[in-house]
Structure 1
Amino acid sequence: MSNQLRGNDLRKIGFPEGAAITRALDILSQREFRKLDKGSALALLKQIKDDPFKYVRDENWRPVAEELVPQPSREVDLNPAIKDYRRYGEDFIEDGARKQMDVAMTLPITIDGALMPDAHQGYGLPIGGVLAADNAVIPYGVGMDIGCRMALSVYELPPAFLEQRRQELRKMLLENTKFGNKEVHKKTNVDDPIFDRPEFRQIGVARAKLDSAVAQLGSSGSGNHFVEFGVVDITDPSNDLKLPLGQYLGVLSHSGSRGLGAAIAQHYTKLAIDKCSLPPQARYLAWLGLDTAEGQEYWAAMNLAGDYASACHHDIHKRMSKALGEKPLAQVENHHNFAWKETLADGRTAIVHRKGATPAGQGVLGIIPGSMTAPGFIVRGRGERDSLQSASHGAGRRLSRTQAKSQIGEGELRRQLRDHGVELIGGGLDEAPAAYKDIHQVMAHQRDLVDVLGSFTPKIVRMDAGGSGKSRHGGE
């Protein structure tokens, strides 16, 4: 190991005795970290020590960060019994997600819950977890990417336009979408009303992120976020979009609240853990009461982040419409990673957390995407009580990002894209279609939750690639 760090080096920067030191040294001994010089390694470890919440979702440093998260001295007792909850497609759900949901169902604030068929293990609540709580909000039950959402614009252009103008459409995506932290739109004037919101002045963490929120407006995150051209196929004559049956050109986007949402999630999760001491297995389910100043402040910040995420999508779709020279015939938008104040079937008011779950109240429209080679679906909620009026937010991961990178080859990804006539700009093996569950199986497990009005089939997909703009052509 070229950095030659020892336990005493870590103690000098504030690491406590115990597992944190051992785990940090073990990770530094791995091949990808051996190239770090001693100073860089110490600087990185000090960042993790000073703000472990920032690294609890990092696949490499999570074991260290979890040891460094402060542990309150007095614990809140969990209920001894797991409250019953509905699991949709139970045989389809990984054990880790079910165990996380079981823990959530023992919280003293829990009223009800449900687990969607796309569920997989996450942080706090599992992805695909829905939890109704009594007058309390769980920041990690909402998630890091607050208000992450889908947005679809449908245009009066035929699917043939995709092949006839493929190069032009590809250029439109490259010129009008930005991804990750290295790309931002050049702005001479930003007049979006979101920045007039008083929360940007009144809430410290939002005020601190105002400049970056302005810079990131209209951009998309990394990971599974995308903007893509595809074919919209309207199959239900009573589709609520007032569209005739048939096929159209569509633009679909998936992204969230960027750095603003992440900063809010980290800040208020720290507050919640300090104020609400839970056993280790429930640590990230710490809550803030809505009858407290901190809970009310988080609620306001969460809503600001959700509205900011929406503003980002509106900016993206406005750019794409202008580039196409077309006004959309119809638009659909829905969000997840959020908490809503709702009335349950028994008349009680609850805070319903949907961590990677789509709102599916009676008549509510939404989009449930598949993968880059599988269709997504335009849906209308059926208001099912057992699911807490929720549905899946996508196909759901079958493989973790680390598993996908080790098990899926570049050649396999290219073959899948070629077989489906899809061009991918950016992206990575961790987002390969094989990393995801079969969307058709997911949809089959939630027939009682939503009606399908139509589908969206991707054809030209742009995702983050660390700014490289790398393209994988379906025709290669």
Structure 2
Amino acid sequence: MAKNTNKLHGKDLRQIGFTDDKQISLALDILDQRELRKLDKGSALALLREIKADPYKYVRDQTWRPLAQELVPQPSRDVKLNPEIKDYRRYGESFIEDGARKQMDTAMQLPVSIDGALMPDAHQGYGLPIGGVLAVDNAVIPYGVGMDIGCRMALSVFELPPRYLEQRRDELKKLLHNHTRFGNKEVFKNPADDPVLERPEFKEIGVVRGKHEAAVKQLGSSGSGNHFVEWGIVDITEEENDLNLPLGQYLGLLSHSGSRGLGAAIAQHYTKVAMSKCPLPPEARYLAWLDLDSQEGQEYWRAMNLAGDYASACHHDIHRRLSKALGYNPLAQVENHHNFAWKETLADGREAIVHRKGATPAGQGVLGIIPGSMTAPGFIVRGRGERDSIQSASHGAGRRLSRTQAKQQVTEGELRRLLRDQGVELIGGGLDEAPMAYKDIHQVMAHQRDLVDVLGSFTPRIVRMDAGGSGKSKYGGE
């Protein structure tokens, strides 16, 4: 069958002055309608030039109205913050840096804000602070969700004793080498298939459509930064643990990663859209929101949920590969996510969009994992449904030092000695993720006793992180 050389592509529209991805997607979708497919490439480009030059002429045209409405200049409407900061609960306030508190104060001045909370692991980010929980009215804030949409924790517990880890340490290290991939350079030669890759959003939403190929390649891989896959020891300490596990210790596999390039592209695109539609004062500009009744708001909501499901599929693939290679099926699994927005009913009966940027859902009876650092335990928890925290808890220990500060203040020798003393082997990683860069997880947990019940712990022993594609480390792994 002959290739259709008349078909327009995004680059053709960019050459005649279209810069907005949504407008390009709209134009291509309209041109794909049956009655317009007969247009040759030159005629189609000429028509699009005319519509771009005078969109008012086409706002009543039934076919081209959606594109014309997008091209008509919108009047500027600066959104003002409320002068009063709505009250919100801060957990471990003396433990939280001023930058994070000030960012949360600003979020509580938004006209759409209803309620908020700041977790004890909070630190400064973009827009909403990491560890910030914000409930708003019928709107979604892309940077209130964050760049790594749907980032999550996943734990598998195996019917193997802790001594298995010491007896088979080299074998378990090899499994991490062979069955995990990290960063932007590593992907599986034959990535797994998953139903999430067939979702209609990949055809119907422009920015998502453009990331389909990358999503296929990156399935089952992990990001860089603080993302990891690690073997360790699970210690179940509560008899009533909702996992059907007897008290005792087990081999565990813990992973932390998100939605890869797909989530980042969605966040970047819709943050720009929100900032153009909802101009805020400089200190609040990254808190621009999309009304959920708008087309852009609905598009982002669908794209966000897709990214969350894609992140989950990546974790399932990681655990499937390693479980198969280990030769054992898990006795129990726990998974939870953060960097997301949920439709929830608040304690006063109002429906709200609850953003948890680096915060763990902790509704009544909800299970989750709150990790420490590579030399500190994480905790398996069950939510208590505390209303003041908007049914949330911390998502980890939280940073004490920025990445730059960690690289400046921690030496390679210090990190190597700490890992050796704690009996931890690190494959990959760097000084920016040194345990010294993180808060004391035990102090963090002490500040949220009212938010979660601790059912058990996970202590890391063999950790793999991104190493810039080399798969090697200067700190004790290979």
Aligned to 1:398: 400
| 8 Å Cα contact 1:135-1:350 kept in structure 2 | yes
> Aligned-pair RMSD on alpha carbons?
1.2
Question: Residue 186 of structure 1 is aligned with which of 186, 189, 200?
Answer: 189
Is 1:330 the counterpart of 2:332? The answer is: yes
Is 1:289 the counterpart of 2:291? The answer is: yes
Is 1:142 the counterpart of 2:148? The answer is: no
Cα displacement (A) at 1:469: 1.6
In the aligned structure 2, how far is the partner of 1:286 from the partner of 1:104? 10
Question: Residue 425 of structure 1 is aligned with which of 424, 427, 449?
Answer: 427
In the aligned structure 1, how far is the partner of 2:365 from the partner of 2:163? 32
1:80 counterpart letter in structure 2: P
Distance 1:472 1:454, change over 3 A: farther
* SS of equivalent to 2:129: strand
Tell me whether 172-181 or 462-471 shows the greater mean CA deviation.
462-471
1:426 counterpart letter in structure 2: G
Aligned to 2:53: none
2:285 counterpart letter in structure 1: R
Q: Deviations over 1:14-59 (max 9, x none)?
A: xxxxxxxxxxxxxxxxxxxxxxxxxxxxxxxxxxxxxxxxxxxxxx
Distance 1:311 1:195, change over 3 A: same
Question: Residue 306 of structure 2 is aligned with which of 304, 307, 314?
Answer: 304
Cα displacement (A) at 1:74: 3.5
Superposed, which structure 2 residues align to 1:200-279 within 5 Å? 200-279=202-281
Cα displacement (A) at 1:186: 0.9
Is 1:374 the counterpart of 2:376? The answer is: yes
In the aligned structure 2, how far is the partner of 1:161 from the partner of 1:435? 31
| 8 Å Cα contact 2:182-2:221 kept in structure 1 | yes
In the aligned structure 1, how far is the partner of 2:77 from the partner of 2:356? 29
Which ranges in structure 2 are unaligned for 5 or more consecutive residues? 1-74
| 8 Å Cα contact 2:428-2:477 kept in structure 1 | no
Question: Residue 345 of structure 2 is aligned with which of 343, 346, 351?
Answer: 343
* SS of equivalent to 1:181: coil
Aligned to 1:453: 455
Aligned to 2:120: 117
In the aligned structure 2, how far is the partner of 1:218 from the partner of 1:475? 22
Aligned to 1:383: 385
1:361 counterpart letter in structure 2: G
* SS of equivalent to 1:123: coil
* SS of equivalent to 1:313: helix
Q: Deviations over 1:123-173 (max 9, x none)?
A: 010000000000000000000000000000000001001110100000000
| 8 Å Cα contact 2:192-2:317 kept in structure 1 | no
Is 1:151 the counterpart of 2:159? The answer is: no
* SS of equivalent to 1:380: strand
Q: Deviations over 1:254-291 (max 9, x none)?
A: 00000000000000001000000100000000000001
TM-score normalised by L of structure 1:
0.84
Cα displacement (A) at 1:73: 4.7
Aligned to 1:38: none
* SS of equivalent to 2:255: strand
In the aligned structure 1, how far is the partner of 2:471 from the partner of 2:321? 19
Aligned to 1:92: 95
| 8 Å Cα contact 1:356-1:393 kept in structure 2 | yes
Q: Deviations over 1:282-316 (max 9, x none)?
A: 00000000011100010000000000000000000
| 8 Å Cα contact 2:139-2:297 kept in structure 1 | yes
| 8 Å Cα contact 2:427-2:477 kept in structure 1 | no
Distance 1:171 1:475, change over 3 A: closer
Aligned to 1:315: 317
Aligned to 1:127: 130
Cα displacement (A) at 1:98: 0.2
1:192 counterpart letter in structure 2: D
* SS of equivalent to 1:457: strand
How many equivalent residue pairs? 404
* Residue identity (%): 84
In the aligned structure 2, how far is the partner of 1:344 from the partner of 1:441? 28
2:111 counterpart letter in structure 1: P
* SS of equivalent to 1:125: coil
Is 1:413 the counterpart of 2:405? The answer is: no
1:186 counterpart letter in structure 2: K
Aligned to 1:60: none
1:397 counterpart letter in structure 2: R
In the aligned structure 2, how far is the partner of 1:92 from the partner of 1:211? 43
Aligned to 1:173: 176
Question: Residue 107 of structure 1 is aligned with which of 99, 110, 113?
Answer: 110
In the aligned structure 1, how far is the partner of 2:319 from the partner of 2:251? 13
In the aligned structure 2, how far is the partner of 1:155 from the partner of 1:473? 28
Cα displacement (A) at 1:468: 1.6
* SS of equivalent to 1:294: helix
In the aligned structure 2, how far is the partner of 1:433 from the partner of 1:392? 17
Cα displacement (A) at 1:191: 2.8
In the aligned structure 1, how far is the partner of 2:82 from the partner of 2:476? 53
* SS of equivalent to 1:76: coil
Aligned to 2:80: 77
| 8 Å Cα contact 1:337-1:354 kept in structure 2 | yes
| 8 Å Cα contact 1:139-1:268 kept in structure 2 | yes
Aligned to 2:14: none
Q: Deviations over 1:357-394 (max 9, x none)?
A: 00000000000000000000000000000000000000
| 8 Å Cα contact 1:117-1:445 kept in structure 2 | yes
Cα displacement (A) at 1:471: 3.1
* SS of equivalent to 1:437: coil
Cα displacement (A) at 1:473: 5.7
